[in-house]
Amino acid sequence: MNAVIGKADHKLTARGRITNMLLTIVFSVISVAYIYPLVVILINSFKVKAYISRAPFALPLDKMFASGTNYINGVAKTNFFDALKWSFVITVLSVFVILLCTSMCAWFISRVHNKWTKMIYLLCIFSMVVPFQMVMFTLSKTANVLGLNTPIGIVVIYLGFGAGLAVFMFSGYMRSSPISIEESAMIDGCEPLRTFFSIVLPILQPTYVSTGILEAMWIWNDYLLPYLVLDIKRYKTVPIAVQYLKGGYGSVDMGAMMATLVMAIVPIILFYLLSQKYIVSGVMAGAVKG
């Protein structure tokens, strides 16, 4: 009997190894397919403009090599560092405001149970499924009327669009965390704000990190919302600056564009690589537990 069980376990183990090997191969191929376009952009950023269209997949050797000319032209033509400054300011401020406001909102929703908190939660969830195209023209007009077409004003708009995901993750985590610590703090005389910042905020740290990473990647790479809302004669983010490399009659300086894309991609890739370990743990804590 034991021998039969041992053979069955051996078969299952061998089958599991084969399955893992196949999955590893499949996901490796998928990873290469995702990474390859980035590699092509990097290669072409060092090529002379004439050879980018002729031999887009060739290595930049000999007469194809443009040294750092494309990067110099990209910075000069797009005023890249100014755009980088505005992208950084908008991303940091927006993520900070989103995390602070939505975590407090989620705490209130999770601890106060009535029809109003349920309605607020449902509205936040509903905001995630509404296509941006449905509101973009009205939003652009409203932003101009209210004076939100500045790097500070657009933070309010990002708060509205980012609140759905953030409230969902924070409230899911809060529903799984014990309320006894908060009750003990209130018995000791802590006011709600002090309870939040002293007790609740440290507990929410994993969800803060993962939500902040996801929101930062979205805001940094966003093109359409800043283009519609901001006064682009004064404020350009990095995606908008890249778009302005187009010349008359559809002509594009491909070398400068490739170099600028590399400079735009590198900061957010480094940010993701340095903090990716927090994403899975935070998402599991904030969404699955709820």
Kindly give the parts of the chain with pLDDT less than 70.
Answer: 1-12, 246-251, 278-290
Q: Token digits for 4?
A: 């039969």
Q: Token digits for 48?
A: 């002379």
Total-model pTM:
0.81
Phi-psi sector, 249: left (phi>0), alpha (psi -120 to 50), beta:
left
3-class secondary-structure state, position 194: helix
Q: Does the domain formed by 70-288 have CATH 1.10.10.10?
A: no
Q: For the chain, what are the domain ranges?
A: 2-64, 70-288
Q: What is the pLDDT of residue 267?
A: 86
Q: What is the pLDDT of residue 64?
A: 81
The answer to whether 87 and 241 are in contact (CB under 8 A) is no
